[in-house]
């Protein structure tokens, strides 16, 4: 089984993914990191090829790892919005976990990182809220479980995921 983390940019998918990997010994992948390793920076892909090409590349990366077993996969914020990506993860034995976080926390974490996150470049609180409002039902629709991360630290979120999925932690750290 794979644990596939989805949610908005800034929801903690990377940090929680690393912690889950530490706790379980499962391999960890980050789709954005894999894209960067193979194709260069995400802002450059957006600038030179556009979002559509980025999403095609993202799907290629998803297909390359979805069939692996015993992995934690942190996805980009828009990855599971494409139904074929969430279907590929599920077909490969993935349990999709939506990390739900409120808009105030998201904006605090990502409000000044537009250079690294092209979809947030020059984004106002209102635009981010609109993006969250649009994406939340999609995340919830494809997720096997939803974890409300508000008020929880990374370790607490990771351990709650393991508890709900009934996966024992190998590390008691």
* 35 DSSP assignment: H
Residue 173 lies in a domain: no
Residue 146 lies in a domain: yes
Residue 170 lies in a domain: no
Opening angle at CA 19, ends 35 and 86, nearest 5: 45
Binding residues for ATP: 10-15, 117
Interatomic CA distance for residues 83 and 61, integer angstroms: 15
Pair 7, 76: CB distance under 8 Å: no
Binding residues: 10-15, 32, 55, 77, 117, 135
Q: Per residue in 70-119, pLDDT tens?
A: 999 999 999 999 999 999 999 999 999 999 999 998 888 776 554 454 55
**Alpha-carbon 59 to chain mean position:** 14
Residue entry with tokens 């607490």: 156
- Element holding 115 (H helix, E strand): none
Q: What pLDDT score does 151 carry?
A: 93
Neighbours of 68 (CB within 10 A): 14
Q: Residue ranges of the chain with pLDDT lower than 50? A: 114-115, 117
**Domains in the chain: how many in total?**
1
Residue 171 lies in a domain: no
Binding residues for substrate: 32, 55, 77, 135
Q: What pLDDT score does 119 carry?
A: 53
Tokens of 12: 């903690």
Residue 72: give the domain boundaries. Answer: 2-165
Binding residues for Mg(2+): 14
Q: What pLDDT score does 112 carry?
A: 53
Which own/partner pairs from 129-137 qualify as long-range (CB within 8 Å, at least 24 positions apart)?
129/103, 131/8, 132/8, 132/103, 132/106, 135/8, 135/77, 135/78, 135/81, 136/100
Tokens of 83: 């139904």
Q: What pLDDT score does 116 carry?
A: 53
| CATH (domain of 21) | 3.40.50.300
Interatomic CA distance for residues 164 and 160, integer angstroms: 6
Residue 172 lies in a domain: no
């Amino acid at each position: 089984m794979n644990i596939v983390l989805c949610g908005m940019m800034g929801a903690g998918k990377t940090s929680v993914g690393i912690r889950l990997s530490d706790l379980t010994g499962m391999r960890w992948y980050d789709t954005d990191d894999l894209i960067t390793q193979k194709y260069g920076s995400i802002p450059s892909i957006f600038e030179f090829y556009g979002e559509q090409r980025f999403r095609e590349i993202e799907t290629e990366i998803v297909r390359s790892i979805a069939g692996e077993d015993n992995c934690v996969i942190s996805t980009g914020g828009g990855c599971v919005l494409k139904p074929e990506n969430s279907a590929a993860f599920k077909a490969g034995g993935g349990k999709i976990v939506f990390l739900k976080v409120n808009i105030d926390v998201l904006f605090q974490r990502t409000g000044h990182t537009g250079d690294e996150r092209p979809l947030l470049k020059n984004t106002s609180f209102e635009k981010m809220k609109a993006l969250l409002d649009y994406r939340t039902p999609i995340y919830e629709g494809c997720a096997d479980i939803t974890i409300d991360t508000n008020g929880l630290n990374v370790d607490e979120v990771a351990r709650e995921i393991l508890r709900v999925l009934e996966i024992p932690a190998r590390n008691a750290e």
